[in-house]
């Protein structure tokens, strides 16, 4: 049943309105490339235009599966919006239908970027020949799919409203329309002829006539294709089976054309006379009982049937049709297929806040081509029901299926394995708590949303292992981060990955750490304090282990918040091989590694961030020491970071001035060159003596300061 319903209904490109371009003088002054990639989502699976009006030029979708365009070259061009108009780039190759996702629709990719300075540009995508600087492309009629020229322009989400884009507001959608007129030509044999019936017909058109083989079309300004008067076109070997022709849409009305059109006609072995040729004209097109002229306009599609007997054409029948059989509206023209999404028992529930709002199903065929199918979650309380308007014809077990899953808060997980347990049920494999992939006994963190859900959860289980698999950019997370405790026996291993744009209104990524946090870099962001005594980048209070963590985010205590540390606000256990480069912008008891300590071990740590000079106590390592003495081994801070007055060299390892036997004499303030030089040996010796698996190295490509890596 599924195969019957969805046969040949793979993802479609759609048509839409062309973006009007300024007619101002073209000024091709090069623009400076920026760092925001062009973002376009191709193949919105909707139809557009008014199918009842054959002259609107907005019809319909291509009606061809996306795979049909895999061998066709797609190009991208961009022009500035404001005067003077300038080509930003032109004829840049792009890929279409790539495996991946950009906002939930088939991806268009290209190595092009928005200009610096937030300068707005209009975007144009097109197939066929390369475009000239003025935007003209050459159109060629023919029967190959490559003759089905497409033009796409940046639009709003509805696919109809033209939209320009810039680096801080990139275009996310591109909408395609046809530039050609599609004509399906066939012959119909008159029932009164003898047993010997005509088999084929060949027809050639006058070179100076209205049907041409090529023309030009402007991708920027639109308009009908310009005739090439010396060109000609022919229908060759026409049989009873329809043959598709893509004709140059030059705007000619063939019904009202007054002169001779056909220059040559052969039916089997009979060649028509000149008088017969002069008498051949095209009738009006019929569509649902309404007649209209036969016009070569972009996006129109016709059935052209020549009714013939043994020696001549006795009738020409013309039918206007939608290029795609679905209605020309922004609504689906048929009922979607509802799929039930279920977990394999790995722990993730699809209900409530976890409801899947969008699913991008990816199917890899035997040729390793990946096709994408977009499904939307039903918002009627059916938490695990997904509506698909296109699906693979065969969803039986053993097919290579993966998916990207979205909730209302964005991308939850990408590339998760899918098992088709039946025609109406898709089973998600190894999807654990917070939408993380399960890999053995580790929950893998691969998206910012997963990380945010884990941080915010107050019910994290004990003895759970987490592993970060790639860079996590928290800048796009829409949910507010509300830090909770990290539980006993649990491990968060960053695997050396970066966490970007951490914005927390709290007192650290975690409140209390009772487990192990290790091997990640907080590269950017700010930690803003709330009503608490302590604040740190990694955690408010550490009762567990923190190892090989780098913090570069600034720490902003709230007024009245006393203890502020670069790694932890309070420490009563182990902090090893950590580096703080973030600035601490407030507090009364401020330390480069911890704000306050009541025991614990700080081994081989470095602070290079500026500490709040108006604090009561400032310590290069610890701001304030309470009644239990800690152990501090071979830990250093950058000279000048722990001074209240830059003219007075009075920096201390412990801000409240206590002399502690556990603090070795090696720990001291050092100049930049010393921290990057001889201090490396001292740091690594301390780690070796402590039996630590870490060692410090210099990696200028990542950081200008030492950082800890696993010692092989």
Write the CB contacts of 568 (distance below 8 Å, at least 6 apart in sequence).
Answer: 508, 513, 534, 536, 538, 539, 540, 541, 542, 546, 575, 593, 594, 595
Q: How confident is the model at residue 447 (pLDDT cuts 50, 70, 90)?
A: very high
350 versus 535: the higher-pLDDT residue is 535
Average confidence (pLDDT) over 650-654: 91
State residue 632's pLDDT score: 92
Is pLDDT above 50 for 408?
A: yes
325 versus 395: the higher-pLDDT residue is 395
Q: In what side-by-side order are the strands of the sheet with 290-292?
A: 243-248, 180-189, 301-308, 313-321, 285-287, 290-292
Is pLDDT above 90 for 232?
A: no
State residue 68's pLDDT score: 57
174 versus 330: the higher-pLDDT residue is 174
Burial 32-48 (b: 16+ CB within 10 A, else e): eebebebbbbbbbbbbb
- Find the range with the poorest average confidence among 95-99, 163-167, 169-173, 685-689: 95-99
Q: How confident is the model at residue 85 (pLDDT cuts 50, 70, 90)?
A: confident
List pLDDT tens digits, range 537-561.
Answer: 999 999 999 999 999 999 999 988 9
* d(C-alpha 163, C-alpha 123), whole Å: 9
Tokens of 99: 């495996």
Average pLDDT, the chain: 82
Q: Which of 132, 140, 318 has the alpha carbon at shortest distance from 212? A: 140
Average confidence (pLDDT) over 61-79: 66
Q: Which of 98, 154, 84 has the alpha carbon at shortest distance from 126? A: 154
Is pLDDT above 50 for 488?
A: yes
State residue 46's pLDDT score: 30
Q: Which of 149, 148, 159, 151 has the alpha carbon at shortest distance from 329? A: 159
Q: Across 247-251, 310-314, 382-386, which has the greatest mean pLDDT? A: 247-251
The Cβ-side half-sphere exposure at 503, using a 13 Å CA radius, reads: 9
Is pLDDT above 90 for 324?
A: no
State residue 335's pLDDT score: 62
Average confidence (pLDDT) over 662-666: 83
List pLDDT tens digits, range 233-242.
Answer: 999 989 888 9
Helix, coil or strand: residue 116: helix
How many H-runs (helices) and E-runs (strands) does the chain carry? Answer: 5, 58
State residue 330's pLDDT score: 37
- Find the range with the poorest average confidence among 171-175, 465-469, 637-641: 171-175
Q: What is the 3-state secondary structure (H, E, C) of 531-565?
A: CCCEEECCEEEECCEEECCEECCEEECCCCCCEEE
Helix, coil or strand: residue 625: strand
Structural domains of the chain sorted by starting position, each given as residue range(s) with its CATH number in brackets? 2-180 (2.60.40), 182-321 (2.60.40.2630), 337-431 (2.60.40), 465-710 (2.160.20)
Share of the chain above pLDDT 90, in %: 45
Burial of 691 (C-beta count, 10 Å sphere; 0-12/13-18/19+) = exposed
* d(C-alpha 502, C-alpha 272), whole Å: 79
């Amino acid at each position: 049943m599924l195969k019957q319903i969805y046969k040949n209904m793979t993802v479609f490109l759609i048509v839409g309105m062309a973006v009007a371009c300024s007619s101002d003088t073209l000024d091709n002054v090069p623009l400076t490339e920026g760092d925001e990639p062009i973002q376009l989502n191709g193949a919105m699976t909707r139809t557009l235009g008014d199918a009842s009006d054959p002259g609107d030029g907005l019809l319909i979708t291509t009606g061809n599966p996306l795979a049909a365009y895999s061998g066709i070259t797609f190009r991208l061009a961009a022009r500035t919006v404001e005067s003077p108009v300038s080509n930003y780039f032109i004829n840049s190759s792009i890929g279409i239908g790539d495996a991946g996702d950009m906002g939930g629709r088939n991806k268009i990719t290209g190595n092009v970027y928005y200009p610096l300075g937030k300068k707005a540009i209009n975007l144009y995508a097109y197939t066929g020949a390369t475009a000239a600087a003025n935007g003209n492309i050459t159109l060629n009629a023919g029967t190959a799919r490559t003759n089905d020229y497409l033009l796409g322009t940046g639009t709003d989400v509805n696919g109809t409203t033209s939209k320009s884009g810039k680096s801080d507001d990139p275009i996310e959608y591109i909408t395609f329309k046809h530039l050609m007129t599609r004509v399906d030509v066939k012959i119909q044999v008159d029932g009164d002829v003898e047993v010997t019936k005509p088999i084929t017909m060949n027809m050639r058109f006058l070179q100076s006539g209205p049907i041409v083989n090529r023309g030009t079309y402007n991708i920027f300004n639109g308009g009908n294709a310009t005739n090439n008067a010396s060109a000609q076109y022919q229908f060759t070997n026409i049989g009873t089976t329809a043959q598709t022709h893509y004709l140059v849409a030059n705007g000619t009305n063939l019904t009202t054309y007054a002169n001779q059109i056909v220059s040559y006609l052969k039916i089997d072995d009979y060649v028509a006379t000149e008088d017969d040729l002069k008498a051949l004209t095209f009738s009006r097109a019929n569509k649902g009982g309404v007649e209209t002229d036969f016009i070569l306009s972009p996006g129109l599609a016709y059935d052209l049937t020549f009714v013939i007997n043994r020696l001549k054409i006795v009738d020409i029948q013309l039918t206007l049709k939608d290029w795609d059989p679905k209605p020309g509206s922004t609504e689906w023209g048929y009922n979607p297929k509802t799929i039930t999404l279920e977990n394999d028992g790995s722990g993730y529930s699809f209900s409530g806040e976890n409801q899947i709002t969008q699913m991008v199903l990816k199917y890899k065929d035997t040729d390793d081509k990946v096709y994408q199918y977009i499904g939307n979650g039903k918002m009627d309380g059916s938490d695990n029901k997904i509506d698909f308007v296109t699906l693979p014809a065969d969803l039986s077990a053993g097919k290579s299926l993966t998916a990207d899953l979205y909730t209302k808060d964005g991308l939850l997980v990408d590339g998760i394995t899918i098992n088709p347990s039946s025609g109406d049920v898709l089973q998600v494999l190894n999807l654990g708590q917070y939408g993380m992939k399960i890999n053995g006994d580790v929950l893998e963190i691969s998206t910012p949303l997963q990380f945010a859900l884990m941080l915010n959860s107050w019910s994290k289980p004990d003895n759970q292992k987490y592993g970060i698999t790639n860079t996590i950019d928290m800048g796009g997370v829409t949910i507010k981060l509300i830090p909770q405790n990290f539980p006993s026996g649990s491990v968060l291993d960053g695997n050396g990955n970066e966490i970007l744009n951490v914005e927390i209104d709290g007192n650290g990524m975690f409140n209390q750490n009772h487990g192990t946090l290790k091997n990640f870099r907080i590269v950017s962001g700010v930690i803003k304090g709330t009503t608490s005594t302590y604040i740190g980048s990694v955690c408010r209070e550490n009762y567990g282990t923190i190892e090989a963590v780098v913090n570069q985010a600034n720490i902003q205590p709230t007024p009245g918040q006393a203890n502020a540390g670069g790694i932890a606000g309070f420490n009563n256990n182990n902090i090893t091989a950590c580096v703080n480069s973030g600035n601490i912008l407030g507090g009364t008891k401020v330390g480069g590694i911890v704000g306050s300590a009541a025991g614990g071990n700080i081994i081989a740590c470095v602070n290079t961030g500026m500490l709040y000079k108006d604090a009561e106590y400032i310590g290069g390592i610890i701001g304030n020491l309470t009644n239990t003495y800690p152990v501090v081994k071979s830990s250093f801070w950058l000279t000048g970071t722990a001074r209240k007055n830059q003219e007075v060299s009075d920096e201390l390892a412990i801000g409240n001035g206590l002399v502690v036997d556990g603090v070795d004499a090696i720990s001291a303030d050092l100049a930049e060159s010393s921290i990057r030089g001889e201090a490396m040996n001292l740091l690594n010796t301390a780690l070796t003596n402590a039996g630590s698996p870490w060692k410090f190295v210099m990696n200028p490509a990542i950081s200008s300061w030492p950082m800890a890596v696993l010692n092989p």
